[in-house]
Structure 1
Amino acid sequence: MSQPSIAPVVERVDARKRYEILVDGKRAGLTAYRDRGEQRVFFHTEVDDAFAGQGLASRLVQEALTDVRKSGKRIVPVCPYVAAFLERHDEFADITDPVTPDVLQWLDTELTDLLHQRLPL
């Protein structure tokens, strides 16, 4: 008789600036962000192929956005998955800001700086 699996858990990992969803203690997916003042800019969401089709991405984003609300921040959905999720879930409309060219330029600089920190010259 197999042991029942533990329900998926979503954790905010501040050091890596992302939320992770864990299944039986293993990371199954993540949604990455960068904070820009009072905005939490989500730019990438992924779920490992081994966990696809289980609704984990939706649960991950739902819990991440709920955490953003609790923290008093606002959501900027650069990530296409987060943007699509928000179109289906208007309960977050009051804390969602539009993706603007200014935000995209800022994010590009943030991510470029991150790459330069990790890659030796």
Structure 2
Amino acid sequence: MTTDKTGSPTAVTQESDRFSISVDGKKAGFTEYIDVGDHGNQRIFPHTEIDEEFGGRGLATILVGEALQATRDAGLRIVAVCSMVANYIEKHPEYHDISDPVTTDVKRILSRT
């Protein structure tokens, strides 16, 4: 079990289009993703959000870390459109080998959603 900076237990769950994080059973935020199989099995992360009331507790770091590990475990590559995801990857070189740049094709995919 992972705890936030206050010691509260957290849980990250994967849904069909996002990973969500809960603290003490209350949903605190999410990171959205889009899986694109025809572009090299990529998982695009366009947006991450943590509710204001949960700010400063390290939840984005926990959420993004678990989402990226699940992406690696699924054999997918990461495209970090979201700045939170990009910053996490910058600080954690263990994900550099499965990270792809944001391309024109990725931007086109996002404009259709």
> TM-score under structure 1 normalisation?
0.83
- Normalized per residue, the structure richer in strand is 2
Moved over 6 A (4+): none
Structure 1 alignment gaps of length 5 or more: 112-121
Alpha-carbon distance in structure 2 between the residues aligned to 1:67 and 1:56: 16
SS in structure 1 of the partner of residue 9 of structure 2: coil
Please state how far the C-alpha of 1:7 moved relative to its aligned partner. Answer: 1.0
Alpha-carbon distance in structure 2 between the residues aligned to 1:50 and 1:18: 20
Identity level (%): 49
Alpha-carbon distance in structure 2 between the residues aligned to 1:106 and 1:22: 29
Alpha-carbon distance in structure 2 between the residues aligned to 1:106 and 1:44: 14
Alpha-carbon distance in structure 1 between the residues aligned to 2:109 and 2:51: 28
Change (3 A) 1:6 1:55: closer
Aligned partner (choices 49, 52, 74) of residue 49 of structure 1: 52
Give the number of equivalent residue pairs: 104
Alpha-carbon distance in structure 2 between the residues aligned to 1:18 and 1:90: 23
Alpha-carbon distance in structure 1 between the residues aligned to 2:73 and 2:49: 23
Structure 1 position 39 matched with structure 2 position 50: no
Aligned partner (choices 69, 87, 91) of residue 94 of structure 2: 91
Once the two structures are superposed, residues 54-106 of structure 1 have per-residue CA deviations (whole angstroms, 9 ceiling, x without a partner) of 00000000000000000001100011111111111111011111111111111
Please state how far the C-alpha of 1:6 moved relative to its aligned partner. Answer: 5.2
Once the two structures are superposed, residues 7-54 of structure 1 have per-residue CA deviations (whole angstroms, 9 ceiling, x without a partner) of 10101012xx00000111111010001111110000000100010000
SS in structure 2 of the partner of residue 8 of structure 1: strand
Matched residue, 1:8: 10
SS in structure 2 of the partner of residue 81 of structure 1: helix
Query: Highest Rg: 1 or 2?
Result: 1
- Normalized per residue, the structure richer in helix is 1
Structure 2 alignment gaps of length 5 or more: 1-6
